[in-house]
Amino acid sequence: MKVSGSRSGRISVAGLIAMRPGSRTRLCHRLRRHTGRKGERRSLSEHDYIGLIDGMHQLVKAPIVLVWDRLNTHVSHAMRDLIDARDWLTVFVLPAYAPELNAVEYLWAHVKRSLANLASVALDRLEALVRNRLKRLQYRSDILNGFLTGTGLSLDLPPPSP
């Protein structure tokens, strides 16, 4: 999300929706503010994403099966090395362009819709609004479950091979 004018910049957000049988569905997210300073990265890095995944692992206290899109940072060599260093993490990558299979895309659409008529605000105010919206969703397992259901993907394991 971008803000123009004085105190401009952008906010990058990454999120994970975790579901575990017998537990409530959870949301974990990270925000990064970009002010446009010289040499500043304009997006989230591999270390930002792996920090999010490590945070979710600490939250759910279980192995993670991660399904995500083909964002260049998600499939980079650096990310592959970070993933390989975590024996509790299994990653499946979605087809090239399949936002309808990505539950987090439904999450972003929901958050953006809640900000749709927002007048241009300072970057710190936008950051606070996005954090507020995401914090509210953390406690709404019913909505998070709806995002997962919206993908149409089965969360059941396939039967074992004979």
Q: What is the mean pLDDT of residues 83-97?
A: 90
28-34: long-range pairs with CB below 8 Å, 24+: 28/52, 28/55, 28/56, 28/59, 29/134, 30/55, 31/127, 31/130, 31/131, 33/9, 33/123, 33/127, 34/9, 34/10
The count of domains in the chain is: 1
Amino acid symbol at 150: G
> Is 160 domain-assigned?
no
> Is 159 domain-assigned?
no
Predicted model pTM: 0.80
> Is 16 domain-assigned?
yes
CB 63 within 8 A of CB 88: yes
pLDDT at 87 over 90: yes
Give residue 156's pLDDT.
66
pLDDT in tens, 11-68: 889 999 988 878 889 999 999 888 777 877 778 889 999 999 999 999 888 899 898 8
pLDDT tier at 125 (50, 70, 90 boundaries)?
confident
> Is 24 domain-assigned?
yes
> Is 22 domain-assigned?
yes
> Is 84 domain-assigned?
no
- Distance (Å, rounded) from C-alpha 8 to C-alpha 145? 35
Paired sense of beta strands 26-34 and 9-18, if any: antiparallel
For residue 16, what are the domain limits? Answer: 2-60+104-150
DSSP string, 84-102: HT-TTEEEEE--TT-GGG-
> Is 76 domain-assigned?
no
